[in-house]
């Protein structure tokens, strides 16, 4: 069985890239200036699992523009939060969450605050609770709760700054109702219904402001190729073009062209190497070059030159990978990149 990964959107990596393993705390840096090798850094948050990391601009606004990294929650840490200093290359304790949680979602608000919503708490309780982290006061505040408890969902910022929460699980059942958060009013509102319940999927905002939810697993455990599109103007979901391959626990990023690249993932016991590209103008998916190695539970991000880096993950035998590879926008093909010092899967990748 291939390990499932929490749904997160691949970031655009405009600086060096920090990879943080969820389980053992090891961290490595990919030097984008030379784009050839990895360097092992100080250990990260201790023994975190199913936690999230978020880049933040420090209140002091470092002169070189460096951003601190917030590592939040996870299983077995009772709401612990740690912050990474890119100058000291070290982690230190920060204010704990008000509610301990794993398998949640986290995103930045335009105010600079960090929003955390849902997830799984003590004794596997699925949560509705929401809170935000203020970088100025370095503290967490409780916000209005979601209408529906959910974990393993997706959160995407809409053009009007509202936050869309979609999909996921509630007490083991797929979520049928979606909602969005208004940060100005601190209220949650109905956001239609996905055409297909899904978890372990990917969601990304298109250039026109619509949100596309792709792949994943439905309530019957079936891996999906289908896609749903959310229109924030009409507040409705509609079915849209399906991928060529059903996949879950994959990665997806929006390229500079506006097209969407989806790669890897799993289907049942199989791990996939295939990749495909969505064209929002023609509303079609087309196959592109396959990954050099089939992988699931990996991470993918945009490099400064517009190409894409894929790293780590798991093989068909659930063995973690150290390898990395790059997708070339011009040739639409993958080539091997320098391997990490440590094999890892189900980790996070963020800018520092």
> 170 Cβ partners below 8 Å, 6+ apart?
126, 148, 149, 150, 151
- The whole-model pTM stands at 0.81
Predicted pLDDT at 79: 82
- What tens digit of pLDDT does each residue of 214-233 get? 999 998 999 999 999 999 99
In whole angstroms, how far apart are CA 13 and each of 92, 278, 285, 305? Answer: 24, 21, 25, 10
Residues of the chain with pLDDT under 50: 1-15, 20-25, 31-36, 46-48, 58-64, 351-352
Q: Which CATH class is domain 17-351?
A: mainly beta
Predicted pLDDT at 352: 43
Alpha-carbon 179 to chain mean position: 19
- What tens digit of pLDDT does each residue of 94-109 get? 899 999 888 888 888 9
- What tens digit of pLDDT does each residue of 60-76 get? 333 445 566 677 776 66
């Amino acid at each position: 069985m291939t390990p499932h990964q929490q749904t997160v959107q691949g970031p655009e990596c405009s600086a060096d890239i920090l990879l943080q393993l969820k389980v053992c705390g090891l961290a490595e840096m990919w030097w984008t200036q030379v784009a050839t090798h990895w360097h092992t850094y100080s250990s990260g948050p201790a023994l975190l699992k199913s936690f999230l990391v978020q880049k933040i601009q420090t209140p002091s606004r470092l002169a070189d523009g460096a951003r601190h990294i917030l590592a939040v929650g996870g299983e077995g840490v009772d709401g612990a939060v740690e912050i990474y200093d890119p100058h000291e290359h070290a982690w230190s304790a920060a204010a704990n969450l008000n509610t301990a949680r794993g398998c949640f979602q986290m995103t930045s608000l335009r105010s600079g605050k960090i929003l955390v919503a849902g997830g799984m708490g003590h004794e596997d309780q699925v949560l509705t609770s929401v809170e935000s982290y203020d970088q100025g006061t370095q503290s967490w505040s409780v916000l209005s709760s979601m209408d529906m408890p959910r974990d393993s969902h997706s959160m995407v910022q809409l053009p009007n700054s509202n936050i869309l929460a979609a999909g996921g699980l509630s007490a083991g059942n797929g979520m049928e109702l979606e909602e969005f958060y208004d940060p100005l009013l601190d209220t949650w509102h109905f956001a239609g219904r996905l055409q297909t319940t899904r978890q372990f999927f990917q969601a990304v905002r298109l250039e026109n402001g619509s949100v596309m939810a792709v792949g994943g697993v439905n309530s019957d455990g079936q891996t999906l190729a289908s896609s749903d599109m959310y229109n924030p103007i009409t507040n409705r979901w509609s079915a849209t073009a399906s991928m060529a391959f059903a996949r879950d626990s994959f990665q997806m990023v929006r390229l500079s062209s506006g097209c969407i690249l989806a790669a890897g993932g799993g289907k049942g016991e199989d791990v996939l190497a295939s990749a495909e590209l969505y064209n929002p103008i023609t509303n079609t998916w087309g196959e592109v070059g396959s990954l050099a190695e089939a992988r699931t539970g990996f991470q993918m991000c945009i490099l400064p030159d517009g190409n894409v880096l894929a790293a780590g993950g798991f093989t068909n035998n659930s063995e973690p990978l150290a390898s990395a590879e790059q997708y070339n926008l011009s040739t639409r093909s993958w080539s091997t990149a320098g391997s990490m010092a440590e094999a890892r899967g189900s980790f996070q990748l963020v800018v520092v």
